[in-house]
Structure 1
Amino acid sequence: MNLKEKYTELLIHIGFSTNEIQKNWFDLEKAYSNKSRHYHNLTHIKDMIFSFETYLDKLQKPNEILFSIFYHDYIYNSRKKDNELKSAQYALSVLPENISFDRQLVFDTICATQQHQHNAIEDINWLIDFDLKILARDWEDYQVYFEQIRKEYRIYPDLLYKPGRAKALKHFLENESIFQTDEFRNLYEEKARMNIQKEIKLLS
């Protein structure tokens, strides 16, 4: 899958001009290719779009969800706690004023990736699950994932990072379920919980 082609196709459909699309793609690619990004990069976006395409027929507003996937980690700074809000605000700033597009859904969807909690809007639940599917990978891939996350937080010593990471992981386990859709719960819940429990043991 060519991400630039997918992005271009989406923006043409939304109503962007060719020049706008080229500029926005340049900005997007630059943001996600920053050297400080080891996990939250274009590979992560590509993985989410694979899930998006797999479950496309489940979505009420697929264009808004796809747009949200492209922009949900646009702003990413491991020292900040408002990345999702800033990414949502930026995503809206990119959208032309004169198009028919559910801006509120885009804003709410991107903000929902901060807490990953069940939402009344099912499209948002699908995107949350696409975002968290990494948690249910085979252990070798899951190890690569958490090592990449550690690199993104390398400014913090183990003394700070390990308890912080463990707390975030335990938060997932304390929820009734990690995944928000029945499909993902049935397929991935057990595996994700096993992976998280193993990582927590390594952090202690």
Structure 2
Amino acid sequence: MLTDIFLQLVNKYSKDHELATNLWLEIFTKYSEPKKHYHTIDHLEAIISDLQEVKDKIVDWDTVLFAVFYHDIIYKASISTNEGDSAKLAMQRLAVIGYPAEKAAKCANMILATKSHELSDDNDTNYLIDADLAVLGKTPYEYQKYTEQIREEYSVYPDFMYNSGRKKALSHFLQMDSVYKTKYFSKKYEAAARINTSNELDEMK
């Protein structure tokens, strides 16, 4: 499914099918790296699945899709520049296919927004960051699986360091007026997200 979505998306802007295939192979390879346990192809599929439900509310669907595909293409637990590096790579790849510069810049800004997940003036961005955090409001089983995968990605850190950082992240979400910025995602996931994150935080104390 993802392969077709990406290739059809690129082919709207470039007729170089070999280029489109190579760009997809790069994405697939990056999201399949051994050290990635959560930020994988499955994560992309989940985001797009959630966003399909609000496609009619999204103004620039193509740019949102490109932001999904590239937002975690560079993700290393040991660095703090993942979003910036991913946004830079996205700009480079979008330039190659002749994507409009203004839209490419919007895509980069969307990717950067997935770092802090703060309310944006751009509602397309709000839908993207909400879908990126949808896992927080999934079933307890899915949430547990997510926390285990995140811990594996950060296995380079001992428990005391990981727990400290994780507590900060969870507290950050809980201190927000709303974890989700759009009505759709707030209604669908907000209550469960607060329960899941609160429970995880309690277990770490």
* 1:13 Cα offset (Å): 1.3
Aligned to 1:42: 41
Aligned to 2:58: 59
Q: Within the alignment, does 1:119 sit opposite 2:135 as a pair?
A: no
Between the aligned partners of 2:114 and 2:65, the Cα distance in structure 1 is 14
TM-score, length-scaled by structure 2: 0.96
Does the CA-based 8 Å contact 1:163-1:203 persist in structure 2?
no
* 1:16 Cα offset (Å): 4.8
Q: Which runs of 5+ in 1 are unaligned?
A: none
Between the aligned partners of 2:169 and 2:47, the Cα distance in structure 1 is 21
Does the CA-based 8 Å contact 1:32-1:40 persist in structure 2?
yes
TM-score, length-scaled by structure 1: 0.97
Aligned to 2:195: 194
Between the aligned partners of 1:174 and 1:14, the Cα distance in structure 2 is 42
Aligned to 2:18: 19
Counterpart AA for 1:138: T
Q: Which runs of 5+ in 2 are unaligned?
A: none
Aligned to 2:100: 100
Counterpart AA for 1:130: A
Counterpart AA for 2:94: L
In the alignment of these two chains, the number of paired residues is 203
Counterpart AA for 1:118: L
Deviation above 2 Å: which 4+ runs of structure 1?
96-101
Equivalent pairs: percent with the same residue?
A: 33
**Secondary structure of the corresponding residue to residue 151 of structure 2:** helix
Aligned to 1:133: 134
**Secondary structure of the corresponding residue to residue 60 of structure 1:** coil
Provide the alpha-carbon RMSD of the alignment. Answer: 1.1
Does the CA-based 8 Å contact 1:109-1:127 persist in structure 2?
yes
Counterpart AA for 1:35: P
* 1:15 Cα offset (Å): 2.4
Counterpart AA for 1:28: I
